[in-house]
Amino acid sequence: MYLGLDLGTSGVKALLVDEDGHAVGSADATYDVSNPAAGWSEQDPADWVVGVTAALAALRDAHAQAYGAIRALSFSGHMHGAVMVDAAGVVLRPCILWNDTRSHAEAAAMDADPVARAVSGNIVFPGFTAPKLAWVARNEPDVFARVARVMLPKDYLLWWLTGRYATEMSDAAGTSWLDVGARGWSDDLLALGGMRRDQMPDLLEGTDVVGEVQAARSDLGLPAGCKVVAGGADNAVAACGVGALGEGDGFVSLGTSGVVLAGRGSYAPDAGRAVHTFCHAVPGRWYQMGVVLAATDSLNWLSRITGHSAGALSGALGDVLAAPGEVKFYPYLSGERTPHNDAQVRGGFTGLGIASGPTDLTHAVMAGVSFALRDSFEALKATGAHLPSALAIGGGSQSDYWTRMLATTLNIPLERPDEGAFGAALGAARIAMCGDTGADPKDVMTKPPIADVIDPQADLIAAYDDAYSAFAGAYPKLKAMP
């Protein structure tokens, strides 16, 4: 048996699979996020320990025999968080999370140095780890002076389980301390951020074994000799869960945020378009992604202000995809990542008339999100990424209407996986399997069974192309508005 743990921002999911990768059972636990000031987002790492312990206890109670046969486990984790510990491993302050924007000034200062993009292959975003430490150095110097090690969220759990300070390439790539092409810590980037190499954890590949579960964790009831495998960052591990490892493989996620991800067999960064270029969670591979900050979050926002559920709004559109309407929506409710790297731009509607109703607004919101995802798709294509088709995942992909609109906007077929285990928890279990057996990831990390394929609607491709062109041209005007 193999165990995959997906450490999310709001909770952890544990998935138990057999040696063939079939799900045996799952359990989850939740925890809170603290927002002590505007733009701040923090978590106590102790809450992750409590959550993982509870999820494992539930799995053990429900599947005792299978739980006793676990040979290895691994993690998926939310990226960019900064866990700071002293020389004894004591956490010095709450973890500053990926969606914390307090370090925007420090990020801008780092990004202004040409070495940052040249070596890391990415813009230094406020959410990345390096500017967080620079903020602590400036605002909490007593804490900064005691920092012996910095870990990413999942890596704190690796240390808790094994006693070893370690990370792996995919998570390290989101710190702005890693030479992403060379897959190693960069002395130049560390110096830019005021850090030292001895403060960095050991750097592994995602399928490398960190160690065995230490005796101090015997309360978890894991078998003696259970291996802990390094794992990876959430989107990289989700890609492992859906078989998106190399050229031509990828997915579009219609979740709270939106992601277009493409596996890459080589390193081809394009920081200027706000494309993320990161190491993959398997050796010798990279991946690229564009990010839309408000995808289904935009529909949920419309739901709140209209008083209709997201499902009711979507269902009212019917079964037949309509052409782009007069009402337009720009989904920059929280700013935007790709391709604009603009935290300040805000969205809105245009083309509203006295006859505009909820269905017009719903259609416009779905179209606006689809166009924003095409922005990311075009940015990826500009780097040489090729996606002749893609998996469609995330809650929004359950809508036939929205998925067909998105397929038509991108002009590629979208494959929807069959219901069942896939994504980050399965990806983590697959990484554990590779770490334990030495299996080639491409033999283990295959695509899930496909439930259906949504093709572009041929008679509307041109109309959605034209509407996308207008959408892309509107950003400078929105940016100029007071």
Q: Which residues are catalytic?
A: 234
Q: How many CB atoms lie within 10 A of CB 459?
A: 10
Tell me the C-alpha distance between 150 and 194, whole Å: 13
Q: To which residue do tokens 């106590």 refer?
A: 44
Instruction: Report helix, strand or coil for 377.
Output: helix
Q: What angle is formed at CA 135 by the lines to CA 139 and CA 32, rounded to 5 degrees? A: 95
Contacts of 358 (CB under 8 A, 6+ apart): 306, 308, 313, 316
**Pairwise CA distance, residues 5 & 425, whole Å:** 5
Radius of gyration of the chain (CA): 22
3-state secondary structure of 288: strand
Q: Say which DSSP state 185 is in.
A: E
CB 374 within 8 A of CB 334: no
In three-state form (DSSP H/G/I as H, E/B as E, the rest C), the secondary structure along 15-73 is: EEECCCCCEEEEEEEECCCECCCCCCCEECHHHHHHHHHHHHHHHHHHCHHHHCCCCEE
Quote the tokens at residue 253.
């996620």
Say how far residue 127 (Cα) sits from the centre of its chain: 12
Token output for 246: 């190399």
- Residue 222 to residues 11, 60, 153, 218, 403: CA-CA distances in angstroms? 21, 9, 21, 7, 41
Rounded Cα–Cα distance for residues 87 and 437 (Å): 34
* DSSP E strand boundaries for 364-434: 390-393, 414-417
Q: CA 265 to CA 307: how far, in whole Å?
A: 46
**209: three-class secondary structure by DSSP:** strand
Measure the CA–CA gap between 159 and 321, rounded to whole angstroms: 50
Measured CA to CA, the distance from residue 119 to residue 66 in angstroms comes to: 45
Cα separations in angstroms, 408 against 339, 370, 398, 414: 20, 9, 16, 10
Give the amino acid at 390. A
